[in-house]
Structure 1
Amino acid sequence: MSHDTSAARRSIFITGGASGIGRAVARFFGERDWFVCIADVDSAGMEDTLGLIPGGFKYSHVLDVRDRDAWDVALESAATAAGGRIDAMINNAGIGTGGHLADLDVEEIDRCLDINLRGVLYGAQAVYPFLQKTAPNSALVNIASAAGIAGGSGMSVYSATKFGVRGIAESLDAEWAPDGIKVSSICPSFIETPLLNGTGNRKSNEMVRDRVVAAGLEITPVEEVAETVWNAVHGDGLHHLVGKTAKGINFAKRWMPGRVRKQQRAASGLLGKSS
């Protein structure tokens, strides 16, 4: 892949940059001569991420994506650090919430909705004037999920947020087209990130990773997501699928919706039960 060679170094702002997909995207763009700005609530994790990016064109900012006013401060600070510009923003911050809806605490539901959905809307609204200035070819990329293509047992809240994230991308793709701002979503399947090491909800003691392996699903290297984000920023596609599971679900949902429904019902006993 070629590096950017324009006189003005392009910059990217990435939420959830302390680990997982955010860290991989930060490294990928940093290695290709972009100025990388990361945001997260985890200061130590962000320092680790910055340590993996070569050169001095990098910046971090503590940000809770649920705080709309904090978004303005973070983006202004990042733009200043990057020489006055933001060319791409990756709405990546998110949490995993799983388990039967009846078993979830209200706080668990609200937290997932606030971070995964409200945070994406706040970020898009806040970054809009920055992307206007660097258009055309500026870009907003929302990290969705295969759970935003088909809902399964134990995934109601998480799927709601990821269906929403894809919907936001579709709406803004139309809304921002006159500005020359590209908008897209990334739909990964199960990715090798720290989210796999959680249980999904407070009433379960079974790791998400164990349930994924038991179901015979593949775990995709996080670097594949980073490369897909790069392609989304530089291309013109709307929805990008990452991993065999995501691509298979998308194909089956389109052409064999009845079979998908049967499979999801059959799998509910394996993947949806709390331990």
Structure 2
Amino acid sequence: MSQADTRKSIFITGAASGMGLATAQLFASKGWFVGATDVNQAGLDAFAKDAGADNCFTSVLDVRDGDAYAQVLKDFAAQTGGTLDLLFNNAGIGAGGFFDEMNFDDVMAVVNINFVGVMRGIHLAYPLLRATPNSLCFTTSSSSATFGMPGIAVYSATKHAVKGLTEALSIEFARHGVRAADVLPGLIDTPILPEGTQDGAPSEGMFRLMPASSVADAVWAAYHTPDRLHWFVPEEIGELDKAAGNTPELVREQIKNTGPLAAVIKEMEERAAAAK
């Protein structure tokens, strides 16, 4: 008998901190068998200690390593009898700055982790999802997938790609009974945020600071809501998504001149000018 027994299972990348950890903790508390992976061994060990060794599978995993990813999924599947109820592609990194001033190796690291790593995980895990009734392929996109965000252009581009991939796969995978959806978080209190961001975050509005648990709640709700494609955290992000689709030029001017990123952009420009 597998370690998971008859329990539902979730496999999470980027599970050692932030949204991934909050999701791992929530699903473990709900009685699911949790596969938690990350590059952070200490964070995984702390989760395993809290969840209990019988309730989880943990492994260090860099999503850029295809061979390692395939082996980790094989080891996980051995504990679940070859099934997977929910794949949560959450691992991601951020790198900010003006695109033309970024080191291209940093650019490609964002692309390879945030998008190529997501595609790799979905492709490798799909046989497990297909073997499991009502399974869900769920991925972390971002509010920056509503409109390309200055200062994080490459990150934003990868999240647009994730959103588009999810929409296409939600149609393709339906032929095998597998669902696909994503979450588009706004400003979430996680280690990926630049230092000091929390202090300057607005207390209200769509870019107010939200706890990592709010994303975990969205993952839980997504599994139990078969027809919904995009999950916005907070819900107001959905209004930005609509506006960006209907009036992108207006949204561009608002972001540039009066939006929540205007002050950040101005500071970046002043810092760049001072460095010359």
Q: Under TM normalisation by the shorter chain, which class is it?
A: 0.7 to 0.9
| Separation of aligned partners in 2, 1:257 and 1:72 | 40
The TM-score with structure 2 as length reference comes to: 0.87
Give yes or no for contact 1:215–1:270 (8 Å, CA) kept in 2. Answer: no
RMSD: 2.1
The structure-2 alpha-carbon separation of the partners of 1:25 and 1:143, relative to structure 1 and needing over 3 Å to count, comes to same
* 2:36 maps to which of 35, 38, 55: 38
| Separation of aligned partners in 1, 2:56 and 2:213 | 19
For 1:203, the equivalent position in structure 2 comes to none
For 2:274, the equivalent position in structure 1 comes to none
Deviation at 1:41, TM superposition (A): 0.8
Which stretch has the larger CA shift, 110-119 or 263-272?
Answer: 263-272
For 2:164, the equivalent position in structure 1 comes to 167
Deviation at 1:214, TM superposition (A): 10
| Separation of aligned partners in 1, 2:251 and 2:201 | 17
Q: Deviations over 1:215-265 (max 9, x none)?
A: 983101111110110111222211111115523422432455443121112
1:271 is aligned to 2:264: yes
**SS of structure 1 residue aligned to 2:192:** helix
Deviation at 1:47, TM superposition (A): 1.0
* 1:149 maps to which of 146, 150, 153: 146
The structure-2 alpha-carbon separation of the partners of 1:143 and 1:259, relative to structure 1 and needing over 3 Å to count, comes to same
For 2:134, the equivalent position in structure 1 comes to 137
For 2:9, the equivalent position in structure 1 comes to 11
Q: Which runs of 5+ in 1 are unaligned?
A: 1-6, 200-206
| Separation of aligned partners in 2, 1:271 and 1:155 | 11
* 1:189 maps to which of 164, 186, 190: 186
Which stretch has the larger CA shift, 181-190 or 214-223?
Answer: 214-223
Give yes or no for contact 2:82–2:128 (8 Å, CA) kept in 1. Answer: no
Q: Deviations over 1:56-106 (max 9, x none)?
A: 211101111011121110111111123432211100000112211122111
Q: Identity of counterpart residues, as a percentage?
A: 35
| Separation of aligned partners in 1, 2:153 and 2:183 | 19
Deviation at 1:147, TM superposition (A): 0.4
Task: Show the 5 A alignment for 1:32-111.
Answer: 32-53=30-51, 56-111=54-109
| Separation of aligned partners in 2, 1:166 and 1:20 | 21
Give yes or no for contact 2:189–2:198 (8 Å, CA) kept in 1. Answer: no
Report the number of matched residues: 260
For 1:204, the equivalent position in structure 2 comes to none
1:220 is aligned to 2:244: no
Question: With CA pairs under 8 Å and 6+ residues apart, which has the higher RCO, 1 or 2?
Answer: 1
| Separation of aligned partners in 2, 1:74 and 1:99 | 34
Deviation at 1:20, TM superposition (A): 0.4
Give yes or no for contact 1:19–1:49 (8 Å, CA) kept in 2. Answer: no
Q: Which runs of 5+ in 2 are unaligned?
A: 272-276
Deviation at 1:55, TM superposition (A): 7.0
1:247 is aligned to 2:238: yes
Give yes or no for contact 1:59–1:78 (8 Å, CA) kept in 2. Answer: yes
